[in-house]
Structure 1
Amino acid sequence: MSAGSNQKHPSSPTPFGTRCFGKQSPIVLNIDLPIQHPFDAQGIFSFLEARAIAGVETTDLSQKDRLIYARTLMFPSGPGAIRLIARNYGSASWVLKAQLELHNLRDQAAAIFRIRRLLNLDADSSAIDLNLSRDPALEASILRTPGIRVPGAVDPHELVIRAIIGQQISVKAARTHLSRLVAQAGAAYTSSFTGLDRIFPAPADIIETVHDPGADLPLDPDRVLKLPRRSISTLRSAAIALQSGELEVGFESNPQLLRESLLRTPGIGPWTAAYLAMRVLGDPDAWMRSDVALVSGAVRLGILEPQTSKSASHRLLEEYARRWSPWRSYASMHLWQAASG
């Protein structure tokens, strides 16, 4: 995702009939990635680490000056993987390198495009920080964390599935459910990057693996996702809509049409629609109303009084957040950071 970026998305992935990828020797390219500074590498790598799905993603943040994130993904010509290494050599600036594991050189442009979207590398962070710091409530947070980024996406369909599974449960719980789903429905993949051995399942794989819970029968105790009936139904409905093309979610989707389409999908509400607009489309001004963590962060930053009722807090914060437009997505990252601190 990028603020003000006009970069176009290379063609979408094509489906593959086999369930095991990566047997042939891949091409590994080493790429230097330019960054708009300041860049909060620690923040965005930590965000990805907290949500990393076993087999699909790995991270190593054990060294503060050397951060690593790797994952598998589908490119237009087939499966592959990326490994990102952010280094800090004692200055305020980060150096970012990428290793691309490809089975077709034509996928290089798609890989770089998705990395830049994922890490929000093209955001004009200095301008964003300047605008948001005009609010005294955010000034200290911006001084602590200059160049905060809004994580993007490498696969729009994948993020829809992740967002639905993550509705109304903790990040840790969502990660557990997603790891189980990937283990059951994800295609096997052989990678030269340690820890990567699965491809995130496509909608067709999810439809086949996650069975209809039915309206009256008891839930199967051995079901792949130990989620409530309604959540499973929502997931299947979305996967079916994505597979058929009824629900079109892409990097270049029309923001208004996408929100309307998402809200027509049973079980998807305004929060999920805003979250997907923020991460898939790169909407810099998305607002996730009724987000408990945003309220918690606002209390910590002194924007809301702790004793304010739940309903009033959401209403007051939404009204207050209008002053952050058109950068409410970035302000949200500061509130989320405050909530977790």
Structure 2
Amino acid sequence: MELDFERCYRAVDSRDQRFDGWFYTGVTSTGIYCRPSCPATTPKRQNVRFFPSAAAAQTAGLRACRRCRPDAAPGSPQWDVRADVVGRAMRLIADGVVDRDGIPGLAARLGYTERHLHRMLRAEMGAGPLALARAQRAQTARTLIETTGLGMAEIAFAAGFGSVRQFNDTVREVYGRAPSELRTACGRSVAPGGAGTITLRLAYRPPLHARALLDFLALRALPGVEEVRDGTYRRGLRLPHGPGEAALTPADGHVSATLRLTDMRDLAPAVARCRRLLDLDADPTAVDGTLAADPALAGAVAAEPGIRLPRSVDGFEMAVRAVVGQQVSVRSARTTLTRLLTHLRPPAPAPGPGGVEQEVRAPGDRSREPEPLDPPAEGAGSAEGAERAGRLRGFPTAEEVLGVPDEVFGMPAGRRETLRALAGAVADGSLDLAPGGDREETVRRLLALPGIGPWTAGYVAMRALGDPDVLLPTDLAVRRGAAALGVPADPRTLDTYADRWRPWRSYAVIRLWRAA
């Protein structure tokens, strides 16, 4: 990936926070790499190199700055939205695929040979998949060192290292300090919450319209899976090594995340999924700049800057929601899904100390959008309408949905069979709804399923796959919002008009829903 030196240097000289995560500044005279916004004195031009990733800077022999913590910068919006192989690979690496399945597993998921994948990542990221995964392990290890009381051996294996020696060597190389020195230097006590609980900050690029995010999620909250209460969104998670729970509270400059994990190896995947859910790696300046160029949207953008695209932690869950919500209101869809969940979900066990259901295991233990016009059902998003925090669980798996008797679905037979076909395709691996899936191929396979048309496939692409450029012109609420803003509401005319919103039409859809 080519980085324009002059543009990057100007960003560093002005300490522009908008470029944090886009690139990293390496200073050869000190052997340190920083964020563009690092408050340290601007280095001399002859001593500066720019890198597209933290892993590339580490591969060049540089260690992370102790002042600006570049390894904790927001993720690059470029890799977040790109649909090519490199963008897909970055999302899978962030989700921990390399730690779980190795480079062969990553290459197989992407459909390329290991050699060709390595070549592509080196060309774009300045580092191969092992180095990229290693940089993530180092950041996970630092988080565990500074926020938990786990022993160093436990942290080493939880972060994905193959040995304690590898863990020690990597931490020293990346941060210039031994793990024990990092724990001493952090100068703060472990956050309370019990075994398996971690509290950390998820950075984002301002502005962030937190109310819009919470409103959207509260309207669709499913009891027992998620809730919005007192400015915090909570939900259950299905993670690679066991169940978990996340509590996310937007704050100034960051989102406070409290994660309750069955297995600490799931920290990196949990963080990646929470960031994806709240769209924290977006570049709101670029999005709002494009949409505000249209006079019809300029007022809405000025009034509510930083509107994000709420995504998902589970692609299958989002696909089920899309199918159930075809041509019905949000309230009706939520009622149907709640009935289905009640059948599938046994009573939750009483939480243990600190609200955690299980202690941490050692690693060796083995075509219309539901109209966003109805208010939430009585009690939804409140303590009475949802299970309390610590009792929330992830959405059922495809295999569980396949085992549901016909009478439990509570929907027309055609829609029920669509759900069965969807669950069957996910269960047998013919449909990949993970963030690293090929978007075009996924949409093609969705459209091949009975009962799934362009609206449903587009909704899944937008929220499950994170496609930033989806328009739903036949959506009733989108058309109502368009009419409210003085935009053509006829589907064909709207489709043509929306070309001016590319490549951010998904964000325009969110704004049109709010305008409705």
After TM superposition, the score normalised by the length of structure 2 is 0.56
Deviation at 1:289, TM superposition (A): 3.0
Question: Within the alignment, does 1:34 sit opposite 2:203 as a pair?
Answer: yes
Question: Within the alignment, does 1:227 sit opposite 2:310 as a pair?
Answer: no
Question: Within the alignment, does 1:335 sit opposite 2:512 as a pair?
Answer: yes
2:481 is matched with which residue: 274, 289, 297?
Answer: 297
- The one-letter amino acid paired with 1:146 is P
1:83 is matched with which residue: 223, 229, 247?
Answer: 247
Equivalent residue, structure 2, for 1:8:
91
Partner of 1:132, secondary structure, is helix
Q: Are the aligned partners of 1:278 and 1:329 in contact in 2 as well (CA < 8 Å)?
A: yes
Q: Deviations over 1:269-299 (max 9, x none)?
A: 1111111111122111011231111110010
Partner of 2:245, secondary structure, is strand
Within 2, Cα distance between the matches of 1:3 and 1:268?
30
Partner of 1:282, secondary structure, is coil
Q: Are the aligned partners of 2:402 and 2:420 in contact in 1 as well (CA < 8 Å)?
A: yes
Deviation at 1:225, TM superposition (A): 2.4
Q: Are the aligned partners of 1:114 and 1:154 in contact in 2 as well (CA < 8 Å)?
A: yes
Q: Are the aligned partners of 2:244 and 2:393 in contact in 1 as well (CA < 8 Å)?
A: no
Structure 2 gap segments, 5+ residues each = 1-74, 81-86, 101-193, 357-387
Structure with the largest fraction of helix: 2
Structure with the largest fraction of strand: 1
2:454 is matched with which residue: 270, 274, 281?
Answer: 270
Partner of 1:199, secondary structure, is coil
Within 2, Cα distance between the matches of 1:94 and 1:210?
47
Within 1, Cα distance between the matches of 2:310 and 2:454?
19
Alpha-carbon distance change, 109 to 277 in structure 1, aligned in 2, over 3 angstroms? same
Deviation at 1:253, TM superposition (A): 0.9
Deviation at 1:59, TM superposition (A): 1.0
1:246 is matched with which residue: 430, 453, 459?
Answer: 430
Equivalent residue, structure 1, for 2:224:
55
Q: Segments of 4+ in structure 1 off by > 6 A?
A: none
Within 2, Cα distance between the matches of 1:130 and 1:73?
34
Q: Deviations over 1:222-269 (max 9, x none)?
A: x22221111111111111111111222211111110110000011111
Within 2, Cα distance between the matches of 1:11 and 1:234?
31
Within 2, Cα distance between the matches of 1:319 and 1:37?
31
RMSD: 2.0
Question: Within the alignment, does 1:280 sit opposite 2:464 as a pair?
Answer: yes
Q: Are the aligned partners of 1:182 and 1:198 in contact in 2 as well (CA < 8 Å)?
A: no
- The one-letter amino acid paired with 2:91 is K
Within 2, Cα distance between the matches of 1:96 and 1:76?
23
Within 2, Cα distance between the matches of 1:301 and 1:197?
39
Within 2, Cα distance between the matches of 1:105 and 1:134?
45
Alpha-carbon distance change, 133 to 116 in structure 1, aligned in 2, over 3 angstroms? same
Alpha-carbon distance change, 188 to 246 in structure 1, aligned in 2, over 3 angstroms? farther
Q: Are the aligned partners of 2:235 and 2:393 in contact in 1 as well (CA < 8 Å)?
A: no
Within 1, Cα distance between the matches of 2:234 and 2:322?
20
Alpha-carbon distance change, 188 to 244 in structure 1, aligned in 2, over 3 angstroms? farther
Q: Are the aligned partners of 2:473 and 2:479 in contact in 1 as well (CA < 8 Å)?
A: no
Equivalent residue, structure 1, for 2:399:
204
Structure 1 gap segments, 5+ residues each = 15-24, 62-66, 88-92, 212-222, 306-312
Deviation at 1:3, TM superposition (A): 4.2
- The one-letter amino acid paired with 1:336 is W
Within 2, Cα distance between the matches of 1:199 and 1:254?
24
Alpha-carbon distance change, 2 to 281 in structure 1, aligned in 2, over 3 angstroms? farther
Deviation at 1:95, TM superposition (A): 3.7
Question: Within the alignment, does 1:323 sit opposite 2:516 as a pair?
Answer: no
Equivalent residue, structure 2, for 1:309:
none
Within 2, Cα distance between the matches of 1:210 and 1:37?
47
Q: Are the aligned partners of 1:187 and 1:198 in contact in 2 as well (CA < 8 Å)?
A: no
Q: Are the aligned partners of 1:210 and 1:236 in contact in 2 as well (CA < 8 Å)?
A: no
Partner of 2:91, secondary structure, is coil
Q: Are the aligned partners of 1:2 and 1:117 in contact in 2 as well (CA < 8 Å)?
A: no
Farther-moved stretch of structure 1 (242-251 vs 253-262)? 242-251
Question: Within the alignment, does 1:156 sit opposite 2:315 as a pair?
Answer: yes
Within 1, Cα distance between the matches of 2:281 and 2:325?
27
Q: Are the aligned partners of 1:183 and 1:198 in contact in 2 as well (CA < 8 Å)?
A: no
Equivalent residue, structure 2, for 1:21:
none
Within 1, Cα distance between the matches of 2:206 and 2:392?
34
Within 1, Cα distance between the matches of 2:307 and 2:439?
23
Within 2, Cα distance between the matches of 1:286 and 1:2?
21
Within 1, Cα distance between the matches of 2:332 and 2:195?
34
Equivalent residue, structure 1, for 2:268:
109
Deviation at 1:188, TM superposition (A): 4.9
Partner of 2:276, secondary structure, is helix
Equivalent residue, structure 2, for 1:173:
332
Q: Deviations over 1:195-229 (max 9, x none)?
A: 53443211111111143xxxxxxxxxxx2222111
Within 2, Cα distance between the matches of 1:8 and 1:270?
25
Alpha-carbon distance change, 111 to 269 in structure 1, aligned in 2, over 3 angstroms? same
- The one-letter amino acid paired with 2:485 is L
